[in-house]
């Protein structure tokens, strides 16, 4: 099987010859913590979900690690999983994106090829390891973002599989394991496994698999999955499904079809019906509000990604949306669409984050929907209505025969979009005069009229690109300070539609297309890739990565800082910290009660501690591999230590060296 070559974003070449570029950053006065919000830190705290809690806030009430002692953080232990690959003819590249969970004194994590490992949280000692045999055929990149825990409240203490760990695999399975031993729970599915391809009909190798953990709500394991981009109109269904956590029985299906179509039900699937094909899927982490009995998901666009003529039909009805489902039945409660008739792969990759909004109307449940555009929609969790005004603005119309792009798109007013300035010929950027000229030539060869420029036969510049903006790392929320912090990247892409008859008759044209997607069933294939200079730097002005803090009560920006340095560049090791240009970043952040934010995500291999009040960097540590993941923290004993843990294993498809290190930090005793 032919593997896809990693994109190699070596964002850092030949910079030793470059003059300093002035760092642009906005300075805002940080607000004081609201009166009455200061709380006493608990003696201990677990981390039972990949997002910290079921709402995905990525927040810990612990404060033993604080601003006054964070510089004393030292490595407590390191564990190597042994599961990583740079990619070859038979193995996919890997990305170690997992955030471990910690429950009742055990740390659980998964590796890119779905090994599940249990560790002692204070020593890193391995308790058990489950190594499944997974089929990598067709898999673009092996990745697993985490596992889920469930306790059978009806079972007696000490019974086998009373506590379970669930993992979704890159070959489309859901596996249930005994949390104490790592052995499959024989009463779950068939010998511990549920085949998620059941009910999907024709599924090609590597076309459908889980990358994010199932969401455990009550006694249900709710699953979503990645469906490979730009392949065909009749791709496998993007349906969300719920399985009985004890038995693996399918309990409900949310078939995301438009109102004029009849959705397929769980009973019909059990009778052999195939769930509707070509619908939007949800591949990021899901969240929930147990009090309301609601599951929140972010969806992608209908298939395929970059053409939506009559072939796609009205499959966009639930596309690129924040969707609220009834947790018990899967029935739709409400949905809010962030992009109409998405032609750009601007799917909602970020986990919708549940929080309590404090505003003029009082306190009520709310949801943050962060998008690849850098748009942040704050929605009422009860009905999905925007808390702050959202404007429908006119956008460019498609010139592609057969396309029917939306005349308007929704723009949030608060928080203001974290969009880059509109690019022009003169602002196209390069490291030197020579490559700047090449970037300007490339810019002039493409269509571009802002972020909603529809894909065309000439080719378009997509800025920010289809990687974000905000990707699966989502945002973190400090519920005491009513503050959201988001990490964004600005990595432009080009997208070019190619008439199918041209592919058939013109071999030269086909051979020139990098990153070609067939989009079978439509008149057009698509070529897409990063918009880079000859030196492999983005052809857009820095910063390429940023951290932004936002007041959730008012929607106003608090501070904004560049995220990432050029330290990873082996050709310019002495200038890495001098150029504050930021880097593309994938992963999430963690906030704590002590007013700290911890984040890896960047390409420069640093784990950072940031003052969440000001955005100032207080501490950093150079990891053996970059941390395209989200840190987590816990404290097991009242008189014990608070630990900070991060997966450092790079991202093969981004050209960031893959690795396998899980590293724990704690305050050094002196």
User: Looking at the annotation, which residues are catalytic?
Assistant: 345
Say which DSSP state 538 is in: B
Half-sphere exposure of 20 (CA within 13 A, CB side): 8
- The token pair at 505 is 């008759």
**Does residue 64 come out as left (phi exceeding 0), alpha (psi in the -120 to 50 range) or beta?**
alpha
Say which DSSP state 143 is in: E
- Rounded to whole angstroms, the Cα distance separating 279 from 318 reads 8
Are the C-beta atoms of 380 and 369 separated by less than 8 Å?
Answer: no
- Rounded to whole angstroms, the Cα distance separating 593 from 112 reads 31
Are the C-beta atoms of 170 and 132 separated by less than 8 Å?
Answer: no
Please state, in angstroms and as integers, the Cα–Cα distance from residue 258 to each residue in 304, 338, 450, following that order.
17, 16, 29
Please state, in angstroms and as integers, the Cα–Cα distance from residue 427 to each residue in 369, 439, 522, following that order.
30, 10, 35
Instruction: List Cβ neighbours of 512 (8 Å cut-off, separation of 6 or more).
Output: none
- Rounded to whole angstroms, the Cα distance separating 156 from 149 reads 17
Placement of tokens 């949390």 in the chain: 179
Beta strands in 500-615 (DSSP E): 516-517, 524-530, 545-551, 557-562, 589-592, 596-599, 606-611
536 C-beta neighbours (distance < 10 Å), count: 18
Say which DSSP state 439 is in: H
3-state helix, strand, coil in the chain (%, to 5): 5, 35, 60
Please state, in angstroms and as integers, the Cα–Cα distance from residue 404 to each residue in 408, 465, 519, following that order.
12, 21, 17
């Amino acid at each position: 099987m032919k593997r896809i070559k990693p994109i190699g974003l070596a964002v850092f070449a030949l910079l030793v010859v470059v003059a300093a570029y002035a760092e642009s950053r906005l300075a805002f006065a940080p607000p004081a913590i609201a009166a009455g919000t200061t709380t006493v830190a608990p003696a201990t705290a677990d981390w039972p979900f990949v997002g910290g809690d079921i709402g995905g806030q990525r927040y810990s009430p612990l404060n033993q690690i604080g601003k006054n002692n964070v510089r004393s953080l030292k490595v407590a232990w390191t564990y190597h999983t042994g599961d990583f690959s740079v990619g070859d003819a038979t193995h996919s590249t890997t990305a170690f994106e997992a955030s471990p969970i910690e429950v009742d004194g055990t740390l659980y994590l998964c590796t890119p090829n779905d090994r599940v490992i249990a560790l002692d949280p204070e020593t890193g000692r391995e308790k058990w390891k489950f190594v499944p045999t997974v089929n990598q055929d067709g898999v673009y990149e092996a990745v697993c973002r985490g596992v889920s825990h469930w306790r059978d409240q009806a079972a007696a203490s000490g019974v086998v599989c009373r506590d379970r760990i669930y993992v979704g695999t890159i070959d489309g399975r859901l596996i249930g394991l005994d949390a104490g031993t790592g052995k499959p729970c024989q009463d779950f599915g068939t010998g511990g496994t549920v085949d998620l391809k059941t009910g999907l009909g024709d599924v090609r190798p590597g076309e459908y698999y889980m990358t994010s953990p199932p969401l455990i709500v009550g006694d249900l394991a709710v699953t979503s999955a990645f469906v490979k981009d730009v392949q065909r109109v009749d791709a496998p269904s993007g349906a969300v499904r719920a399985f009985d956590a004890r038995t693996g029985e399918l309990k409900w299906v949310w078939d995301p079809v438009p109102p004029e179509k009849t959705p397929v039900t769980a009973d019909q699937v059990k009778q052999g019906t195939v769930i509707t094909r070509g619908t939007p899927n949800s591949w990021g982490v899901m969240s929930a509000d147990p009090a309301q009995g609601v599951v929140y998901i972010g969806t992608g666009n209908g298939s395929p990604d970059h053409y939506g003529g009559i072939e796609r039909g009205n499959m966009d009805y639930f596309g690129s949306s924040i969707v609220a489902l009834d947790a018990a039945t899967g029935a739709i409660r409400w949905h809010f669409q962030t992009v109409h008739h998405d032609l750009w792969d601007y799917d909602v990759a970020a986990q919708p984050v549940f929080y309590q909004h404090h505003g003029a109307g009082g306190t009520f449940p709310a949801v943050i929907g962060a998008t690849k555009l850098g748009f942040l929609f704050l929605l009422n969790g009860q009905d999905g209505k925007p808390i702050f005004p959202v404007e429908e603005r006119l956008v460019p119309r498609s010139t592609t025969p057969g396309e029917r792009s939306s005349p308007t798109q929704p723009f949030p007013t608060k928080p203001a979009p974290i969009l880059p300035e509109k690019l022009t010929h003169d602002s196209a950027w390069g490291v030197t005069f020579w490559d700047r000229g090449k970037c300007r030539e490339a810019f002039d060869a493409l269509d571009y009229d802002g972020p909603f420029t529809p894909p065309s036969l000439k080719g378009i510049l997509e800025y920010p690109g289809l990687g974000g903006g905000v990707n699966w790392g989502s945002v973190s929320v400090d519920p005491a300070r009513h503050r959201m912090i988001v990490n964004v990247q600005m990595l432009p892409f080009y997208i070019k539609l190619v008439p199918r008859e041209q592919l058939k008759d013109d071999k030269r044209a086909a051979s020139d297309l990098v990153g070609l997607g067939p989009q079978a069933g439509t008149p057009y294939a698509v070529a897409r890739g990063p918009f880079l200079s000859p030196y492999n730097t983005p052809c857009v002005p820095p910063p390429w990565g940023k951290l932004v803090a936002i007041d959730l009560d008012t929607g106003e920006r608090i501070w904004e800082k560049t995220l990432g340095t050029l330290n990873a560049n082996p050709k310019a090791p002495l200038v890495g910290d001098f150029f504050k240009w930021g880097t593309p970043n994938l992963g999430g952040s963690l906030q704590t009660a002590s007013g700290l934010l911890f984040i890896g995500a960047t390409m420069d291999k640093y784990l950072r501690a940031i003052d969440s009040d000001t955005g100032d960097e207080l501490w950093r540590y150079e990891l053996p591999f970059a941390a395209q993941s989200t840190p987590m923290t816990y404290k097991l004993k009242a008189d014990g230590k608070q630990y900070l843990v991060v997966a450092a294993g790079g991202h093969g498809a981004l050209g960031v060296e893959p690795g396998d290190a899980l590293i724990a930090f704690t305050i050094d005793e002196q």
